[in-house]
Structure 1
Amino acid sequence: MKILRTPDARFAHLPDFAFSAHYCEVTDPDGTAVRIHYLDEGPPGAGPVLLMHGEPSWSFLYRRIVASLAARGHRVVAPDLVGFGRTDKPADQSDHTYERHVRWMSDWLAATRLSAITLFCQDWGGLIGLRLVAAFPERFARVVVANTGLPTGEGFSDGFNQWLEFSQSAPVLPIGQILSMGCRRALSEAEIAAYEAPFPDESFKAGARRFPALVPITPQHGSVAENQAAWKVLERFTKPFLTAFSDSDPVTKGGELIFQQRVPGAKGQKHVTVADAGHFLQEDKPDEIADLLHGFIASTK
């Protein structure tokens, strides 16, 4: 497997992102070493808040939430998925499979030895993060899901289908513009550039290009059986489980209901609709999300 690594200089002087870089190396079954980058801020002895991003963003998405939670005494961990951010990037689209990504992040989670985790996951951060919950339920204390899902072969929204068609046909994948279009507020030029930073050219975008096609929205997709098995675990998950979907996301609109109906830990929780927020609600409402997480942890200890 050929690995690309974004030069460090691409990440210099990013707005509101004065965090130290941490790295963990995992080994793919084919023997390739893959370096995963993550943020780790706040008191190391505090219960970790794990923030998992999706497609095609990276941990920069959580910069304001990381700073706010760390200032309030939380340990905050935010990894970059393989193919994104400062993490290594397999060069071929065929290198990217759903199960490979789950394994890479499972190995990362085991190596970091995180426990008593509060998970916040959005987009592919949920497709992978919820598989981690199903694989290691004992490591998680509570879960917040936002604008995500765990599909098992059923059709998806018109918004997702439009995104899928665009992502597979556009000759150039404009990462920064995609992030900006998925927000209600206008991103600055510096913020758009920060989302472009991990990708010096199109050859670095194999993961970003491939992820939409991996979402198991038909019975013929890979990982349907694995996600069905994960749902069986989630249907027995009694720890606090909160939905915090935004009100202006055409891709995942209504997706919170399946979690509220099927996860025991979601019963009786004060589920939230984040107002005036798009798909990337972390950009639109970072203070609200930080407050939500801080309050959810405090109320469910």
Structure 2
Amino acid sequence: MKALRTPDERFEGLKDYQFEPNYLEVDDTEGGSLRVHYVDEGPSDANPVLTMHGEPSWSYLYRHMIPVFTGAGHRVIAPDLVGFGRSDKPSQRSDYSYERHVGWMGSLVRQLDLENITLVCQDWGGLIGLRLWAEMPDRFARIVVANTALPTGDQPMGEAFTAWRTFSQEVPEFPAGRIIYGGTTSKLTDEEVAAYDAPYPDETYKEGARQFPVLVPDSPDNPSSQANREAWGVIRGLDTPVLTAFGADDKIMAGVDKVFQKLCPGAAGQPHTILPDAGHFLQEDVGPELARLTNDFIVRTS
């Protein structure tokens, strides 16, 4: 599998992002390997908070939350999905599939031997992270579900998602930073928009970002629909504590929190919240508050 690697200098001097890079290799499923980047902050012997980003962001999204977690004594693992951030970027859109993404992140969890994980997942970070929870539930202590879903294609995705997917496929130049800007309530500075564009020197680096919207299971016969149904079958039998925290201004994910509250046994009795003045990328709008809610959740369920 041919892959591009964003030059290191693209990541120099980014606002509020001074974390040392860490790397490991994962099987690309074609006889080679891909380099995956992850942030690893806080005490190495502490239980980990695994923060998983989505489309088209990267671990920069969690820069305001990581210090709140480490300040409470937690270890934070914040990977960049393959195709994003400082991770390698396969050069063909056909290289990207939902199942490969799950496998690549599963390899990271196993290689780092993460246990007693607190998963914080948003957007595609949930589509992937929740599959990992179903695949290896003994490794996960609790789940924070933030503006995400685990779709099976058995229910319509809604007009907002359809419009987003159409835009993502038809726009001549995929504007990653401006997409993040548009999904926030507080709005980013030009410097922050540039940081979200940093992983992509040109359009050839954006094949993963382009492909993600069409990988969402939106019909019952999608290649990953059955795998997600099976994951739900596992999740519905788990008593792992689950907390939902959704942004009030997120139109795409509006109401999906109720699905988790209904179907996850461990969601019963938790102080689920809708965060005002927060859009789809709530880590940007209310990151420290979301981190504090997570810290409280850890204390309450430990």
TM bracket, shorter-chain basis: over 0.9
Q: Which whole-Å CA distance do the structure 2 matches of 1:85 and 1:241 have between them?
A: 28
Give how far 1:268 is off. 1.1
Q: Specify the alignment match of 1:164 in structure 2.
A: 165
- Contact map agreement 1:157 1:252 (CA 8 A) in 2: no
Q: Specify the alignment match of 1:216 in structure 2.
A: 217
Q: Specify the code of the residue in structure 2 equivalent to 1:211.
A: F
Structure 1 position 94 matched with structure 2 position 97: no
Q: Specify the alignment match of 2:56 in structure 1.
A: 56
Structure 1 position 186 matched with structure 2 position 171: no
| Offset from partner CA, 1:202-255 (integer Å, 9 cap, x none) | 000000000000000112321000000000111011011111111110111000
Q: Which whole-Å CA distance do the structure 1 matches of 2:221 and 2:142 have between them?
A: 32
Q: Specify the code of the residue in structure 2 equivalent to 1:267.
A: A
- 3-state DSSP of counterpart to 2:118: strand
- 3-state DSSP of counterpart to 1:77: strand
RMSD over aligned Cα, in angstroms? 0.7
Q: Specify the alignment match of 2:43 in structure 1.
A: 43
**Structure 1 runs of 4+ with >3 Å offset:** none
- Contact map agreement 1:157 1:250 (CA 8 A) in 2: no
Q: Specify the alignment match of 2:78 in structure 1.
A: 78
Q: Specify the alignment match of 1:21 in structure 2.
A: 21
**Percent identical across equivalent pairs?**
53
Q: Specify the alignment match of 2:226 in structure 1.
A: 225
Q: Specify the alignment match of 2:274 in structure 1.
A: 273
| Offset from partner CA, 1:158-180 (integer Å, 9 cap, x none) | 11111000001111100110000
Give how far 1:6 is off. 0.3
Give how far 1:138 is off. 0.2
Structure 1 position 241 matched with structure 2 position 213: no
Q: TM-score, length-normalised on structure 1?
A: 0.99
Q: Specify the code of the residue in structure 2 equivalent to 1:73.
A: G
- 3-state DSSP of counterpart to 2:64: helix
Structure 1 position 145 matched with structure 2 position 163: no
Q: Which whole-Å CA distance do the structure 1 matches of 2:125 and 2:30 have between them?
A: 24
Q: Specify the code of the residue in structure 1 equivalent to 2:161.
A: F
Q: Specify the alignment match of 2:294 in structure 1.
A: 293
Q: Which whole-Å CA distance do the structure 1 matches of 2:18 and 2:28 have between them?
A: 31
Q: How does 1:101-180 map to 2 (within 5 A)?
A: 101-153=101-153, 154-180=155-181
- 3-state DSSP of counterpart to 2:206: helix
Q: Specify the code of the residue in structure 1 equivalent to 2:72.
A: R
- 3-state DSSP of counterpart to 1:64: coil
Q: Which whole-Å CA distance do the structure 2 matches of 1:234 and 1:42 have between them?
A: 29
- Contact map agreement 2:36 2:88 (CA 8 A) in 1: yes
- Contact map agreement 2:186 2:277 (CA 8 A) in 1: no
| Offset from partner CA, 1:14-49 (integer Å, 9 cap, x none) | 000110101010112211211100001011111100
- 3-state DSSP of counterpart to 1:212: helix
Q: Which whole-Å CA distance do the structure 1 matches of 2:122 and 2:158 have between them?
A: 16
Q: Which whole-Å CA distance do the structure 1 matches of 2:68 and 2:272 have between them?
A: 21
Gaps of 5+ in 1: none
Q: Which whole-Å CA distance do the structure 1 matches of 2:169 and 2:252 have between them?
A: 16
| Offset from partner CA, 1:114-147 (integer Å, 9 cap, x none) | 0000000000000000000000100000001011
Aligned length: 301
Give how far 1:194 is off. 0.3
Q: Which whole-Å CA distance do the structure 2 matches of 1:140 and 1:171 have between them?
A: 41
Q: Which whole-Å CA distance do the structure 2 matches of 1:270 and 1:233 have between them?
A: 23
Q: Specify the code of the residue in structure 2 equivalent to 1:190.
A: E
Q: Specify the alignment match of 2:261 in structure 1.
A: 260
Q: Specify the code of the residue in structure 1 equivalent to 2:255.
A: G
- 3-state DSSP of counterpart to 1:273: strand
Give how far 1:13 is off. 0.1
- 3-state DSSP of counterpart to 2:9: helix
Q: Specify the code of the residue in structure 2 equivalent to 1:36.
A: V
Q: TM-score, length-normalised on structure 2?
A: 0.98
Q: Which whole-Å CA distance do the structure 1 matches of 2:89 and 2:10 have between them?
A: 15
